[in-house]
Amino acid sequence: MATALRETEEEIGLHSRHVELLGELPEYFTGTGFRVTPVVGLVHPPFTLTLDAFEVAEAFEVPLAHFLDPANHEEHSIMHEGRLRRFHAMPYQGYFIWGATAGIIMSLYRLLNGVADGREG
């Protein structure tokens, strides 16, 4: 969690005093071979972000309710290096949230809704 807070401050300028840590989600394995341990927290305003242009192109806010509404969950697929790869996406006001970010958000969705193995029930 300390690493997540440090990286958040380095990459977007959000100081840890504005973050209330809630815990970790299960590890997430990316299609490119990385293992990520997502950390979840509440962010308390007011604050000003200062983006590291080398790391982050843009920051925007999405209401949690958008991610928790299954109507906003999409599944896509693409052929990559001769293999069909599937991925989650969650479009929001002109943004296309996909890949690892959407996969991690789906992990949070499943946890909050008691959904096992990616299937509602």
Q: State residue 121's pLDDT score.
A: 39
Percent of the chain with pLDDT over 90: 89
- At residue 111, does pLDDT exceed 70? yes
The 10s digit of each residue's pLDDT in 27-42 is: 999 988 999 999 999 9
The Cα–Cα gap between 92 and 26 comes to 25
Residue 82 is given by DSSP the state T
The 10s digit of each residue's pLDDT in 53-86 is: 999 999 999 999 999 999 999 999 999 889 999 9
- At residue 120, does pLDDT exceed 50? no
| Sign, Cα dihedral of 11, 98, 19, 38 | negative
Q: State residue 116's pLDDT score.
A: 57
The Cα–Cα gap between 43 and 20 comes to 6
Cα pseudo-dihedral 120, 94, 97, 69, rounded to 10:
-20
Q: State residue 32's pLDDT score.
A: 85
* Whole-prediction pTM: 0.87
- Looking at the DSSP assignment, which residues form a beta bridge with residue 116? 119
Burial class (CB in 10 A: 0-12, 13-18, 19+), 90: buried
Give the domain ranges of the chain.
1-59, 60-121
Q: State residue 114's pLDDT score.
A: 87
Alpha-helical (H) ranges within 2-120 are 2-12, 64-68, 99-113
